[in-house]
Structure 1
Amino acid sequence: MESNISFTEISLKSKDLIKSYLAKEDFLISDITFGNLFIWRHARKIEYAVINECLVIKTTYEGKNPFIFFPIGDGDKKQALLSLKSYFEERKESLELHSVEVKNLELLKELFPSASATLNRDRSDYLYITKELIELKGRKFHKKKNHFNRFLEEHAGFVYEPMSEANLEELIELQTKWHETNDDPNDLGLHFEHIGIIDVFKNFSKLSLEGGLIRCTGNVMAFSFGEAATNEMCVIHIEKADISYRGAYQAINQQLLSHAFSDILYANREEDLGIEGLRKAKLSYNPTMIVDKYEVKV
């Protein structure tokens, strides 16, 4: 009997439905937030379906076997996974799950004893105590605090502005210029990130995101945006700074969290993609946890 599962591509219209399922889930990964799905839907085909009262996100890269994230919500996850196995078998494809949290591995092993699970360290998320990143207190943040203090001394007149209709057109122009200067034809990730950022700016008021920028003497020095993914965790999706301003990255990190997410316990600053410099930078902020993500092949 052929499966009646039907997937629909992610769009702005999907937001309310997807967020309603996420609200029923306790999770620590950044991948399944609506902001993340919206930004990166240009880089790969991202679709969703509701199966056994669970939300299922399916991702397909051109020429590769599609994968899903672990079912989301309070429905029958076991039956949803069994239905998905049949769905992929009908299409002569294997059931693969990416970004699986440790807590969900047991159920997968129970359902599919021969499944293999592999840690993908490059995709594992960095989780921080938000208050620590705002206050930068203690020995472990000594260097970060120094960078931030130097920024305050050199740019005493800087101001923080929340992202709004008043500055989004300026940010679109700034991001476009930045991309033209730094574009690498061989880096498709950079290309799709740019498309995603512009798309966010054009739809910002509809996306339930929080963002901000810092400027001095009229010039934008840095911007960043993210979202409250759960009651206890925000996710910082994008952070850009002009490196000619020393400490600008430290400043926008501290300022966005301080102004938009100070009442949220954890800040998820996503993965390092295996990039050595990015890994060093993320570790230097002393994460309280690295959220392991596994790839499971059934």
Structure 2
Amino acid sequence: MLQFQELTAAQGDCLRRYYEACDYRLCEYSLGVKLMWRGHLHPSFAEEAGCLIVRNCIEGEYVFDFPIVGEGGDLEGALCAIEAWCAETGTPLVLSVVPEDKLPLLALRYPRFRVINERPWKDYLYRTEELAAFAGRRYSGQRNHINKFRRDFPDAEFTPLTDPQDPRLAAFWRDYEAEFHKTGPLAVQELALAQEMFSRIGTGWFCAGGMMAEGRLVAVCLAEKCGGTLVNHIEKALYSHAGAYPALVQAFADHYGGDCQWCNREDDARDKGLRTSKLQYLPEALAGKVRMEVGTELDALKAVPTLKTERLTLTPLRKADIPAYSALCLDDDRNRWWGYDYRTDLGDKPLTDTYFYDDARADFAARRALNFAVRLKGKLIGEVVLYHPDFRGSFEQGCRIAPEYAGHGYGTEAFAAAADWALYHLGLARVVAKCFKENEPSRRMLASCMRPSGEDETYFHFEKTV
């Protein structure tokens, strides 16, 4: 299973190996956004199948970036790893800020999903050569502002910034704060984070520069090259120097954008002033990003159904089943082959009389799993469970029968009925199962209901498809 570590500046060199070649053109696929907004995103990462997998935790919800494929990486392997982690941990599978052009791939991959595509998320994409030139009638407004700025400040010039200790930077932040009129908490936080980002310009991860006038910095910009896109993370200019802002945009694109086709000036955060400004620079496109909430076939199920076989009935668990169900779940001899130890999840919590019953109901309420009570003449003698979805039309199935009812074929009968219902009524494409290699009775039972699909050091694997 994926092992995540906190995404911090300490891993910057490792992460930039992926981001510097990433061609998604979205600001979220950059080291700068992850570091600058880490207090909101709470990002962590793992490397799998030659890909970078980033997991964010936003307001307590885990959401994944679309994997970034490194050299020789395997996107399929990375997606499977995300799916397996979500299934194993019982976490909803949510892929956020997915590039629009990746949506068809995911839509064909997942049978059930919900897509959200909102205007405020979209980034502003400009052709770098157009920002560097501001040529043609449609950019006459920008040229007029720049010409006025240069008339007022004839000594104005662009300068690269590479030293985080540059005294000109410290002076700029003092001047900027003196003119800074926004008092909202987000604006104040963003200013503090911008200053922190400039403290990292000596790492080689970012490019930075500013406009000098009258011997001091009057505008600054920090950006990051990701694939063929120059992602502008920070743009600041003194309000007292009219025209410094467009002059900076032009000079920065001209100096740093030569090997980048696109300039991404990020989204507008629903700020009316930012939206108006970004639109005035005539973006070539609004780069869309979507949120995909992946579901399973269980989402459409309103209740656990009742199934009938020749001798058995499969029903939802009932309160009256609690003693027999708890005894089944506490049978260590049986659980040795079940492959699950309740003590792991229980941890330090006390084991209550209703623990297993409540756990099964909670799993179904969240549509993580479905538990059938197996009944003989109304009495609970075992259970069949559908669990561990792969989010692509497949669930794993397990079955256990109380020891006093073993050896009569009840497990085979119940397992086969549940598998047929899952395929032909629930609508799964595949049901899979496994058993320990030492468990010969389970192997025979599964072989009678399903076809072998492989083995590893521990298990025999089986599957049944439509």
Q: Aligned runs of 1:185-200 on 2, under 5 Å?
A: 186-187=184-185, 189-200=186-197
Q: Does 1:253 align with 2:249?
A: yes
SS in 2 for 1:15: helix
Q: CA deviation at 1:132?
A: 1.0
**Residues 15-72 of structure 1 deviation map (CA, whole Å, 9 limit, x = unaligned):** 22222223554321111111222222234311111123221111113x4312111011
Q: Which residue of 2 aligns with 1:109?
A: 107
Following TM superposition, the consecutive aligned residue runs of length 4 or more in structure 1 with deviations greater than 6 angstroms are none
Trace 1:286-297 onto structure 2 (pairs within 5 A). Answer: 286-297=282-293
1:159 — aligned with what?
157
- Cα distance in structure 2, aligned partners of 1:245 and 1:180: 13
Q: Does 1:210 align with 2:218?
A: no
Q: CA deviation at 1:173?
A: 4.9
Secondary structure, in 3 states, of the residue corresponding to 2:69?
coil
Equivalent residue runs for 1:67-78 within 5 Å: 67-74=63-70, 75-78=73-76
For the structure 1 residues 180 and 136, does the alpha-carbon distance in structure 2 shift closer, same or farther, using more than 3 Å as the test? closer
Separation in structure 2 between the aligned mates of residue 146 and residue 215 of structure 1, nearest angstrom: 19
Q: Which residue pairs with 1:141 in the alignment?
A: 139
**1:87-128 CA deviation, whole Å, 9 max, x = no partner?**
234444311122111221122122222111111221111111
1:127 corresponding residue in structure 2: 125
Whichever residue aligns with residue 12 of structure 1, its letter is: A
Secondary structure (helix, strand or coil) at the match of 1:66 reads strand
Match of 2:92 in 1: 94
User: Per the alignment, in what secondary structure is the counterpart of residue 236 of structure 1?
Assistant: strand
CA distance in 1, matches of 2:283, 2:258: 17
- In the TM superposition, what is the alpha-carbon distance from 1:240 to its structure 2 partner? 0.4
Greater Cα shift, 170-179 or 285-294: 170-179
Structure 1 residue ranges without an equivalent (≥5): none
Q: Check conservation: 1:233, 1:267, Cα contact below 8 A.
A: yes
**What are the ranges of 5 or more consecutive residues in structure 2 without an aligned counterpart?**
295-466
Per-residue deviation at 1:183?
7.5
Equivalent residues of 1:49, 1:55 under 8 A apart: yes
If asked which structure has higher relative contact order (CA below 8 Å, sep 6+), I would say: 1
CA contact (8 A) 2:43 2:56 kept: yes
Q: Deviations over 1:105-163 (max 9, x none)?
A: 12212222211111122111111111111111111101111111111111111122211
Same amino acid, percent of matched pairs: 26
Q: Count residues in correspondence.
A: 292
User: Whole-Å Cα distance in 2 between the matches of residues 183 and 293 of structure 1?
Assistant: 32
Provide TM-score, normalisation by structure 1: 0.89
Cα drift, residue 180 of structure 1: 7.4
Which range moves more in the overlay, 276-285 or 22-31?
22-31
Note closer, same or farther for the CA distance 1:164–1:79 as it changes in structure 2 (3 Å cut): closer
Over 3 Å counting, the alpha-carbon distance change for 1:120 and 1:250 in structure 2 is same
Worse-matched range after superposition: 35-44 or 207-216: 35-44
Distance 1:53 1:20, change over 3 A: same
Computing the radius of gyration over CA atoms, which structure comes out larger, 1 or 2? 2
Q: Is the Cα contact below 8 Å between 2:179 and 2:239 reproduced in 1?
A: no
263 and 51 in structure 1: CA distance in 2 versus 1, 3 angstrom threshold = closer
Deviations 1:172-203 (A, max 9, x none): 4533664576486642x334423432322222
Out of 23, 26, 29, the position equivalent to 1:26 is 23
- Aligned alpha-carbon RMSD (Å): 2.2
Distance change (3 Å), C-alpha of 1:217 and 1:21: closer
Equivalent positions of 1:264-275 (< 5 A) are 264-275=260-271
5 Å matches for 1:230-245? 230=227, 232-245=228-241
Change (3 A) 1:24 1:113: farther
Q: Distance in 1 between matches of 2:117 and 2:26?
A: 14
Whether the 8 Å CA contact 1:121–1:274 is kept in 2: the answer is no
Aligned to 1:50: 47
Q: What amino acid sits opposite 1:18 in the alignment?
A: L
1:101 maps to amino acid: P
Q: What code does the residue aligned with 2:6 have?
A: E
Separation in 2, partners of 1:281, 1:181: 19
2:99 & 2:21 partners in 1: Cα distance?
A: 16
- Give the match for residue 378 of structure 2: none
Contact 2:100 2:288 in 1 (8 A): yes
C-alpha distance in structure 2 between counterparts of 1:176 and 1:51, whole Å: 44
TM-score (norm 2): 0.58
The amino acid that maps onto 1:216 is: A
Is 1:7 aligned to residue 4 of structure 2? yes
Letter in 1 for 2:114: S
Cα 1:208–1:158, aligned 2, differ >3 Å: closer, same or farther? same
